[in-house]
Amino acid sequence: MRSIKPITNSNKKFLALFYLVAVLGIVSLAQADEYTSSSFRVLDPVLAPAQFSTSTDFQLFGSLGEMGLGTSTAIGFGLQSAWLFFPVVATPVVSATAGDGSVALSWSAVTASLGWTVGGYNVGQATVAGGPYSYTSLGNVTSTTRSSLTNGTPYYFVIRPEDALSNTIATSSEVSATPVSSGGGGGGGGGGGGGETVTATGVNLSGYGYPLSKVTILKDGQIAITTIAGPDAKFAVALTGLSAGEYLFAVYGEDNQGRRSTLFTFPVYLTKGAMTNISGIFLSPTIDVDKREVAHGDNIAIFGQTVGSSTVTIAVNSNQEIFVRTLAGVGGLYLYNFDTTLIEKGDHTTKSKSTVLNEISPFGAVVNFRVGTTTVLAEPNQGCPLRGDLNSDCRVNLIDFSIAAYWYHRPLTADFIPREKAILSGDGKVDLVDFSIMAYYWTG
Amino acid sequence: MQNIIISIDPGPQSINAIGGEIIIPQGVEVISIASANSVVKFWMEAPSLEAGHLSLAGIIPGGYQGQPIELISLILPESVPVPKFDFSKLKVLANDGQGTMVTAKFYVTVTPIADQIITDRIPPEEFTPLISSDPTLFNGQKFLVFSAQDKQSGISHYEVCEKKAGDSKFASCIWQKNESPYLIINQKLDQRIEVKAVDLVGNERVVRAFSPPLDPLYYLIGAIIVGVFILWGARFIIRKLSRSSRSSSS
């Protein structure tokens, strides 16, 4: 039987020295030399800078803000530090409508922040689901028609927004369409009488809501259909029997506590006799806090629901915006105990967004809280809109619009004034501002 | 004729309310105004023209952010040069829950007059009227609200039919032009109410706004009829089975 020799003191010293030399060696290799350039970019993070970089014209993307003690100067560049928490853009929602030998694509305009600007879009096209795609640069547009396609062959598309330096900064989910030959033969129309029947004009919508939660789709501001997302938070619905023309679709979800997401709206032009596929809808997480006011130095819980096992980025506004990350559970619930020592006393807001695989939701609703000297617990969210609900039925829809429209530019009576104060702008009259508030909290 | 499309470009923000006036130069003849494909879905003031002032006010539920999109379109005579509109009196509000005023750009484009307006045979879309009541409206009495869309020529007007109590259920409807919100005459709601949306070329869509619940007697009669059929069917099957078993044993 083999015996195990004990480690002697000299061996321990040797091992300690070895590890020390190894660490110092790695650190020294990782140090960046001072570098200057009239025009270049550095994308890799610098681990132990203690150096500085100067240039007349460059952008340095690194983690200097996290670890560095160096300085960076330039006549004209942007330093975006804390790259580990660097917010990225939301993925666009794409619609595809098949035509004769062609597919018309349109997508929601992507907004970027914190140094990113969208410079243009690429469209990826494949004949196999999942790619590989061949990409074409389109410039800064939000629609394109892919032509010279084969009727009867399914095509698969993705849209990639690029930054100003032509770097891809997001990829949409895949959308597909199969070009079809336009109706042939004979004279169309003819025959007398009646109305024309529109068939097979509609839209397929799909995306992420919350696990096993209700998803509501509005068509031009009114409820068109509701569905329930699957355990994986995915949903898919079809609306048929529509006319050709411009529509404004809006989607929102309700989480397991009845909290509603913000409305995800996008315009779609429907072509007569064609089903338009819209994919990549990704509802923002719901969000709430456990305290309306928190004593400085205590924690405040920020929580909500989103896609299960997704990465949730929470932004807390302060003099400088602070970003933290947490993982949602399998059921999509997330919670983060935020330490208020990181922010100053006063009024603050928080919002969140979610990332799963390559898809990113927009930031959702903004929640207010105050950092002061006392703690005031928040009342449980009833799931009703905070404002705009004039008839208190927990919805903001055509009924509330009609009530407000009656008072539009009319002197308010004594019994309506308190409602205007509590539910609308509170300025004692019903005008465009009140309707704007209503439109923001709209539920259909 | 020429179709002048006025589009709004919200820029980087999301907007949800537009109101005010578009000033049209003196002497410009406007044949008609259309909002069938407008990004605005509900109008507090439907676009209307008076003495060169085109007034409008409406909202975009949920807001809009993106490329320039149609606000309204005007039909002008063919030979008229495109007018220089004044948009300075239009207010645009952000979709931020506060009604913050923001700036937006407006564009004017000329397109060929759409044949679809002339040959429109498609009725307005399905819509769902809603019944409600409010202490500050109609002294708390029940009223009906409705709003339809027509993507081809636009909505012209609405008509409502209420069958009064005592009318035969086979009596035809008497349609009357009305607007939303509509004060329901039959507050007992014991007869059906129908709403008709009519587009600019006369196509119609009729939807039922309300149906009173069925008399329980009808449910009883229905249950008796179904019960009779079930019993008859069961008797038929039992007879068939007993005949087969007799013939197989003999």
* Beta sheet of A264-270, edge-to-edge order: A222-228, A214-219, A245-254, A264-270
Of A108, A109, A439, the CB nearest to B63: A439
* Beta sheet of B15-23, edge-to-edge order: B42-50, B53-64, B15-23, B90-94, B101-102
In the structure encoding, which two tokens stand for residue A340, read together? 């208020």
Per-residue pLDDT tens for A46-97?
Answer: 444 334 444 444 444 443 333 333 444 444 333 444 444 444 578 888 989 8
pLDDT the model gives residue B26: 86
Q: Is A220's CB within 8 Å of B64's CB?
A: no
Chain A contacts in chain B segment 159-198 (CB below 8 A): 180-181
Q: Which residue of A has its CA nearest to B130?
A: A399
Of B44, B125, B151, the CB nearest to A435: B44
For chain A, give percent helix, strand, coil, nearest 5: 15, 40, 50
A168, β-bridge pairs? A162
Q: How far is B146 from chain A (nearest CA, A)?
A: 8
Per-residue pLDDT tens for B141-180?
Answer: 999 999 999 998 889 999 999 865 455 656 667 899 999 9
Chain A contacts in chain B segment 98-157 (CB below 8 A): 98-99, 121-123, 125-128, 130, 132, 134-137, 143, 145-147, 149-152
- Which helix (H) or strand (E) segment holds residue A281: the answer is strand A275-282
Q: Is A401's CB within 8 Å of B95's CB?
A: no
pLDDT mean across residues, chain A: 80
Of A243, A267, A433, the CB nearest to B39: A267
pLDDT mean across residues, chain B: 88
Of B66, B122, B152, the CB nearest to A267: B66
- Tell me how far apart the alpha carbons of residues A95 and A154 are, in angstroms, rounded to a whole number: 15
Q: Is B99's CB within 8 Å of A437's CB?
A: yes
pLDDT the model gives residue A273: 86
pLDDT the model gives residue A425: 94
pLDDT the model gives residue A50: 38
Q: How far is B29 from chain A (nearest CA, A)?
A: 27
Q: pLDDT over 90 for what percent of chain A?
A: 55
Strand, helix or coil for residue A205: strand
Q: Is A403's CB within 8 Å of B137's CB?
A: yes
Q: pLDDT over 70 for what percent of chain B?
A: 92
In the structure encoding, which two tokens stand for residue A197, read together? 């029947």
**Alpha carbon distance, N-terminus to C-terminus of chain B:** 90
Q: Please check the confidence at residue A37 and state whether its pLDDT lies above 90.
A: no
- Which helix (H) or strand (E) segment holds residue A130: the answer is none
Nearest residue to A138 via CA among A121, A119, A162: A121
Q: Please check the confidence at residue B118 and state whether its pLDDT lies above 70.
A: no
pLDDT the model gives residue A32: 40
Q: Is A402's CB within 8 Å of B64's CB?
A: no
pLDDT the model gives residue A12: 59
pLDDT the model gives residue A13: 64
ipTM of this complex prediction, to 2 decimal places: 0.84
Chain A contacts in chain B segment 47-76 (CB below 8 A): 57, 59-67, 69-70
pLDDT the model gives residue B192: 87
- Tell me how far apart the alpha carbons of residues A154 and A103 are, in angstroms, rounded to a whole number: 10
In CATH terms, the fold of domain A94-181+199-282 is: Immunoglobulin-like (2.60.40)
Q: pLDDT over 70 for what percent of chain A?
A: 75
Q: What confidence tier does B243 reach under pLDDT thresholds 50, 70, 90?
A: confident
- Tell me how far apart the alpha carbons of residues A173 and A359 are, in angstroms, rounded to a whole number: 7
Q: How far is A261 from chain B (nearest CA, A)?
A: 11
Per-residue pLDDT tens for A288-327?
Answer: 999 999 999 999 999 999 999 999 999 999 778 899 999 9
Per-residue pLDDT tens for A150-162?
Answer: 999 999 999 998 8
Interface check for B44 against chain A (CB to CB < 8 A): the answer is yes
CATH class for domain B2-113? mainly beta
Q: Is A434's CB within 8 Å of B99's CB?
A: yes
Tell me the domain boundaries of chain B: 2-113, 130-210
The DSSP secondary structure of chain B, one letter per residue, reads -EEEEEEEE-TTS-EEEEEEEEE--TT----EEE-TT-S--EEEEEEEEETTEEEEEEEEEEEE-SS-EEEEEEEE-TTSPPP--B-TTEEEEESSSS--EE--EEEEEEEEPPHHHHS--PPPPP---EEEEETTEEEEEEEEE-----SSS-EEEEEEEEPPTT--TTSPP--EEE-SSEE-S-TT--S-EEEEEEETTS-EEEEEEE-PPPPHHHHHHHHHHHHHHHHHHHHHHHHHHHHHHHHHH-
CB < 8 Å to B146, chain A: 398
In the structure encoding, which two tokens stand for residue B240, read together? 């068939």
Of B42, B149, B151, the CB nearest to A401: B42
* CATH code, residues A288-377: 2.60.40.10
Region B222-230: mean pLDDT is: 89
In the structure encoding, which two tokens stand for residue A259, read together? 């909290």
- Which helix (H) or strand (E) segment holds residue A405: the answer is helix A398-407
Q: How far is B66 from chain A (nearest CA, A)?
A: 5
Per-residue pLDDT tens for A363-419?
Answer: 999 999 999 999 999 987 767 877 999 999 999 999 999 999 999 989 999 989 999
Q: What confidence tier does A185 reach under pLDDT thresholds 50, 70, 90?
A: very low
Tell me the domain boundaries of chain A: 9-84, 94-181+199-282, 288-377, 398-440
